[in-house]
Structure 1
Amino acid sequence: MPEPISQVEYWNGDVGERWATMQAELDRVFAPLTDALLAGAALRPGERVLDIGCGCGETALLAAGRIGPSGAVAALDVSRPMLARAQARPASGAPIAWIEADAQIHAFAAEHDVVLSRFGVMFFEDSLAAFANLRRALRPGGRLAVLCWRTLSENAWVNVARRAVLSVVPEPAPSPPEAPGPFRFADGDALTDVLDRAGFARAAVTPVDRPIEIGSDAEAATRFAVTVGPVAGLLRDLDAPTRERAVAAVRAAMPEGGLVRLGAACWLATAVAPE
């Protein structure tokens, strides 16, 4: 079994490159969830926003438009390929500072009104240290709003393809519950607990359920499903014939008849920095 790699290595390797290449498609697919995050963040003109795990920049760019030129956005990620894509995109509204850094240890000024993240906080190697650092980045009374995936079984956009692949290959051993990964905070109580322990007040989670469009037809949906997220990881080390059978199983599992919409299930977690 290969040695595990750090999150910095992971997001600066082929995964980060692939997500940068797929920026437009990923933003389209996740748009209904991005809308839910921004509604929950309730951004106001002139605020200072810190976007954690900003990736290719979609949430930072949208936040900049909402807070306007009197505000400011700091957008942070460990992935150099994704930040390069973000910096190349047109921006308007508030100025954006793109920062390549680890949110667990970066020395933030305690000046931000809002910390937000679209699917970035599940990948911390030390969640408690990271959230404590983010709390220190907020001014007293500042707000946090983050999106995290709920359980795998509730996320058909992943699970339909995953079940199909597992009809061909054995299921891998589960990761430890506190290991970084997309479903790290599938248990909403675990998320509110770490926010409480990190010094936040009024931590709460609200379920967000949306259908997302993963492809214009079954072929496009298959390409998306086997390229992004946990299913791509299942396929990565397979020999060519086994991979072909697994991809064929995914294709057979996809609904026919045009646009493919599958369910996505998240937590919107909110909290405030104590006054």
Structure 2
Amino acid sequence: MPEPISQTEYWNGEVGERWARMQAELDRVFAPLTEDFLGRLALRPGEHALDIGCGCGETALLAAARLGLGGSVTAVDVSRPMLDRARARPHAGAPITWIEADAQTHPFAPRHDLALSRFGVMFFDQSEAAFANIRRGLRGGGRLAILCWRGLAENAWVALPRAAVLTVVPEPEPMPPGSPGPFRFADPGEVAGVLARAGFAAVATQPVDHALVLGQDAAEAARFALTVGPVSALLRDLDPALRERAAEVVRAAMPQAGPVRLAAACWLVTAVNPG
């Protein structure tokens, strides 16, 4: 069995390059969640924001537009391919500083009013230490807001294609508790405990639910599901014939009439740096 690779290696390899190529499509699919997330943050003109796991830059760009020229955004990610894509995108509003670094250890200046992350904090190797480091980048009274996935069963956009693929390939061994992964913080009590131990106060959790349009038809939706996200990992080492068989069963499992809309369920978790 090959040695596991680090998250930095993972997001700087083929996966990061694939996500960078699919930036526009990913932003389109996740747009309902992104807009809801940013709409709940009460961003104020002139504030200084820290975007953790900024990826191809969508949340940083949208935050910059809301903060205006008097504000700023510091956007950090470990993935060079995605940061290259982010830097190439036009933007208006607050200046953005793009940083290729690991938010778990990068020495952030303690000047930010808000640290935000859309689907970026579930991949930390050491969650408690990572959040403690992020807290040090906030001024006293600064806010934290993260959007993370609830459980697999509530996320049909993943669960449906995953169940179909598992009729073709064996189910993988479960990861040890606390391992990096998309559903790392499906349990709200888990993330609340991690944040409290990292020094945050006033931790609160709200559900965020939307239907995502994966594609305009079953074929387009299946291609999206099998190219990005948790299901794509199940196909990584398949031979071409088995990969095509998996694609066939996922296409067949998708709703067959009109745009494919599947449920997505997240937590919005907020907290405060007490100083």
* Fold agreement, TM-score > 0.5: yes
| Bin for the TM-score computed over the shorter chain | over 0.9
1:92 match: secondary structure:
coil
- After the TM superposition, list the runs of 4 or more consecutive aligned residues in structure 1 that deviate by more than 3 angstroms: none
Corresponding position of 2:77: 77
Question: How high is the TM-score relative to the length of structure 1?
Answer: 0.99
Q: Are the equivalent residues in 2 in contact too, given 1:216–1:260 (CA < 8 A)? A: yes
1:16 aligns with 2:16: yes
Equivalence for 2:136: 136
Equivalent residue, structure 1, for 2:192: 192
For 1:94 and 1:243, locate their aligned partners in 2 and report how far apart those are by CA, in whole Å. Answer: 44
- Post-superposition offset of 1:218: 0.6
2:101 paired residue number: 101
Matched-pair contact (CA < 8 Å) for 1:49–1:112: yes
SS in 2 for 1:129: helix
State the partner residue of 2:150.
150
Letter of the structure 2 residue corresponding to residue 207 of structure 1 = P
Aligned residue identity for 1:6? S
Deviation per residue, 1:191-222 (Å, 9 max, x gap): 01100000000011111110011001111001
Amino acid paired to 1:19: W
**Alignment of structure 1 residues 61-76 onto 2, 5 Å:** 61-76=61-76
SS at structure 1 position matched to 2:122: helix
- The percent identity for this pair of structures is 70
Q: Aligned residue for 2:273? A: 273
* Structure 1 gap segments, 5+ residues each: none
Cα offsets for 1:93-145 (capped at 9, x unmatched) = 00000000000100011000000001000001110010001111100000001
Q: Quick one: distance in 2 between partners of 1:40 and 1:145?
A: 9
Distance 2:132 2:154 in 1: 29
- Root-mean-square deviation (CA, aligned residues, Å) is 0.7
Quote how far apart the aligned CAs of 1:40 are.
Answer: 2.4
Q: How many residues align?
A: 275
Q: Confirm or deny: 8 A CA contact 1:41 1:144 kept in the other structure.
A: no
- The DSSP-based 3-state class of the residue aligned with 2:205 is strand
Amino acid at match of 1:204: A
CA-CA distance at 1:35 after TM superposition: 1.2
Deviation at 1:13, TM superposition (A): 0.3
The gaps in structure 2 that reach 5 residues or longer are: none
Q: Distance in 2 between matches of 1:40 and 1:274?
A: 21
Q: Contact conserved, 1:122 with 1:182, CA < 8 A, in 2?
A: yes
In structure 1, distance between residues paired with 2:94 and 2:24: 22
In 1: Cα distance, 2:47 partner to 2:177 partner: 35
1:120 is matched with 120
Within 5 Å, give how 1:1-275 maps onto structure 2: 1-275=1-275
Q: Distance in 1 between matches of 2:185 and 2:101?
A: 22
Q: Which amino acid aligns with 1:125?
A: D
Q: Secondary structure at the match of 2:97?
A: strand
Shift of 1:67: 0.6
Q: Deviations over 1:141-176 (max 9, x none)?
A: 000010001111111001110000001111111111
What TM-score results when the alignment is normalised by the length of structure 2?
A: 0.99
